[in-house]
Structures are given as structure tokens and as C-alpha cells.
Amino acid sequence: MNLSLLNNIILSEHKNDKHLNHKYKILKQLFSAGPSSISTLCDAVGVSTPSMLKLLADLVGIGWIEKSGSGVSIGGRKPDLYALKNERALIICVDIELFDTRIAILDNNCNFISEVKRVSLPISKSRADFFSILLPLLQEVLESAQIDKTKIIGCYVGMPGLVNTEKGENYSYLIDNMENSSLVEAFEKALNLPVIIQNDMAGSAIAEFRHGLAKGKKNALVLLMDWGVGLGIIMDGELRRGATGFSGEFGHIPFVENGALCYCGKHGCLETIASGNALSKTAREGLLLGKKSMLNDLSKEELERIEPEVIINAANRGDQYAIQLLSNIGANMGKGISILIQLFNPELIVLTGKIAKAKQYITLPMQQSINTYCMTQIREEMVIESSVLGENSRLLGYATDGIDRFLEAYLSKAKKLKK
């Protein structure tokens, strides 16, 4: 992560402070755990109460933290709680899908500071073409939000594909490279800000783990059912990313013998029969063969790429063809989930993404498949629920992970300054 590009380093006015390391630890603790008592902060940072009181006074003085009510008492006076102040640091979050892109600005408490701007911006474009469209859009968001740009600490970009966050590269998309630079370097050059890139599934998983139904769960799975299929794995209370960050490529397990060709180059992947792309493709093929449906009213352009939401809306209006399409997706996904249940023994599976909005049209056939293919003793204590975070949940996940990573980077820098 190139911190030299940062315009406004957090606590820069105190960069020569010998207690800077402790102050970053306090900020990181408050970001991760929320409002905390002095005793909790002492344990997290490893300092005495008098020292903590001085550190907190300094952070209150420069406007980074504030008192936030009182905690629970087990006898005696209720302890004061301290929390991060809103809008002290801002992060630009970009959620890139196959065909659309969302942009928003969030603050250090993961509040949305700007409206979410959604535009048609396919990821299939070249790097140059993609940036030529993205940069003016980012400028529009910044101007409309009327924010203090010196508070922006970086940008977090989430996207589909095989993304190696540490190397700053996506091995599936925007891979044309005339300058022999990584994708994250290209973003940083274009934005003049530190940039993190991450797989979109990670955004969904982090959002559910920190803010959604999986919060506080020890063993849970987050299943992204979008144009593709992705998996977030929470085991023993930790989000598992794998050796190179590629864990959760559930959509590309071999599922159908001699099946359709997947965009990854293999045949018969789960995504070819249980994804948004599969749903759209199957719907279009059936309509062209004469299937009777409300979807027959779609224009030629709409038929070329039928949005999952259009099929879900038709199902909600009683369209039997749409209902059957969704049922098939749910049944296929249920069979795949059976494998996951027996591998990970989760207490909860959270469904998120475009197809998750179909709710009972996919969950009922999904559950039937699970009952058929999964061992009773393993599945009977497991619950499947649809996410309640809404369509912008990935942006929330990106902000959470981004601020956490930037704070960790500054903490490392503070340690070096101390030496």
C-alpha cells in the first residue's frame, strides 16, 4: 500500500508524538469494537489507567474521539464510553459489477456521507476506457457531497474475479496492461490516493460479519448469489481468506459432467447452472423457443441481458415460467450448499446478492435439495437467512475493511517512527 500518496495522514499533526503508536491502537480498537470503556481500552492497548486517561484527553482535544454515553455497571458507577467522532476520515468506495458500478463515500464510522451513484459501466472495457468513464463519475460524487477532500484517506475498489489484494492485481478483469504496472498502481496513479482492491465477495462477507446477520457468529457462510457465485467463510470467529485471498471460489467447482463452458475456461462449473448469468441465459433461450411468459414483453435489448430483478418481479406477479426458472436455480444451489454444510458445519448461511432477493422462490427448492443431499445430523442445527443489509451492503463491507487496513498501515508506520 503506497502511503506516500496520502494527502492527509491521520494524526499527522502528532507524527513525532512518542505515544502515536498507542493512539493508533485506540483508534483501531474503537473502530473494530465500537464505543468502549477505559478499562477495555487499557486491556486492548496495554497501558495503565492514568496513561489511558492522558491518551484519551489528547484524542478528545484534537477532535478524533468523544464520550458516547455510559456502559453497563455490575455495581457502582457506570463507566464512561468513548467512540470515534463521525466524519473524521473518509473513504471512497467503488463497487464494480459485471455491467454496473456503484460509488459512495463513507466515514470512519461507516456512515454513508454521499448518495450512492449507480451507473452503467461494464468491467469488460479496457483499463484506459474504464478509467476515462470512472474518473469523471468520482469527481461528480465528490462535488455533490461537498466534503472536505483533505479528510479522504484512500479508495477501496471491490470487483469480481480472482483478486490478489496484497499484490494489487485482478487476474480476471482489466488485465490489459500497456505500462507494466499492477491494477492497484493504475488506480493509484489515476486517483492520486492510496487504493485497495478486493474481490466483491469479500465485501459481502465483511459486511455480514461486522454489521449483519453473521455478526457475533463463530461459524457461518455468506453466499453471494449475483451474476456469479461467491462464498465468504467465517470459521472460529474469523473471516478466512486463504493463502492468497482466493478462498470462496465456490462458483467454479466442477458440478455438471460435460456441462456448459464457463467463462473461467472450464466446463460444468456451478455458475453455469446457478448464477445470475445462468438465470438470464436460460430465460432468454426459453423465450426464444416460444415459452409463454410476461417476459415476452421485453424489448430486443432487454432480452439480450435479462436482469435477475426482472425475472423476480415476474415471479412475484405469478408468472409460472419465472417461478420455474428461479426454482431450478434454488435446487441447483441447494445441492451445492449441501457440500458446504458437510465441509464446514456452519450454524448460519446468509444469502446475499441479486438472486437472494427472490426469497421463497429459491429458498424453498434450495431447502428441499439440502434435505435430499445433506446428512440430517449436520443440517438440522443450521439456519439459512437472506441478508437484511440491502443492495449497498458491499460498499459497507469495503469501507469497514478499508478503514481497518488503513489504520493498520498507519499503526505500522507509527511503530517505525517510534524506532
**DSSP of 255-301, one letter per residue?**
-STT-PBPTTS-BSBGGGTSSHHHHHHHHHHHHHTT--SGGGG--HH
CB-CB contact of 159 with 200 (8 Å): yes
What's the rounded Cα separation, in Å, for the pair 252 and 255? 8
Tell whether the torsion through CA atoms of 249, 254, 260 and 261 is positive or negative.
positive
**Answer CATH for 3-85 from 3.40.50.1000, 3.40.50.720, 2.40.70.10, 1.10.10.10:** 1.10.10.10
CA distances in angstroms from 113 to 65, 146, 208, 330, listed in the order given? 18, 10, 20, 36
pLDDT at 86 > cutoff 60:
yes
pLDDT at 419 (0 to 100): 55
Query: Which one has a higher pLDDT value, 238 or 75?
Result: 238
What's the rounded Cα separation, in Å, for the pair 370 and 332? 10
pLDDT at 217 > cutoff 90:
yes
- pLDDT per residue over 241-261, tens digit each? 888 888 889 999 999 998 899
- Any idea of the CA torsion for 357, 363, 365, 369, to the nearest 10 degrees? 130
C-alpha cell at 223: 453466499
Mean pLDDT on 208-231: 95
Percentages (nearest 5) of helix, strand, coil residues in the chain: 45, 20, 35
Please report, rounded to a whole number, the percentage of residues in the chain having pLDDT higher than 70: 92
Q: Where are the domains of the chain?
A: 3-85, 90-203+394-405, 215-388
- pLDDT per residue over 97-154, tens digit each? 988 999 999 999 999 999 999 999 988 888 889 999 999 999 999 988 888 888 898 9
pLDDT at 75 (0 to 100): 60
pLDDT at 414 > cutoff 70:
no
pLDDT tier for residue 10 given thresholds of 50, 70 and 90: low
pLDDT tier for residue 1 given thresholds of 50, 70 and 90: very low
What's the rounded Cα separation, in Å, for the pair 330 and 356? 10
**Domain at 215-388, CATH class:** alpha beta
In DSSP terms, 152 is beta-bridged to 90
pLDDT tier for residue 11 given thresholds of 50, 70 and 90: low
CATH match of 90-203+394-405 with 2.40.430.10: no
pLDDT at 69 (0 to 100): 80
Least confidently predicted of 10-14, 173-177, 278-282, 303-307: 10-14
- pLDDT per residue over 259-294, tens digit each? 899 888 889 999 999 999 999 999 999 999 999 999
Same fold, 90-203+394-405 and 215-388: yes
Q: What is the pTM of this model?
A: 0.89
pLDDT at 6 (0 to 100): 36
pLDDT at 7 > cutoff 70:
no
Provide the mean pLDDT of the chain: 89
- pLDDT per residue over 304-355, tens digit each? 889 999 999 999 999 999 999 999 999 999 999 999 999 999 999 999 999 9
Among 60-69, 108-117, 297-306, the range of highest mean pLDDT? 108-117
What's the rounded Cα separation, in Å, for the pair 41 and 56? 10
Burial class of residue 185 (count of CB atoms within 10 Å of its CB; 0-12, 13-18, 19+): middle
pLDDT at 9 > cutoff 50:
no
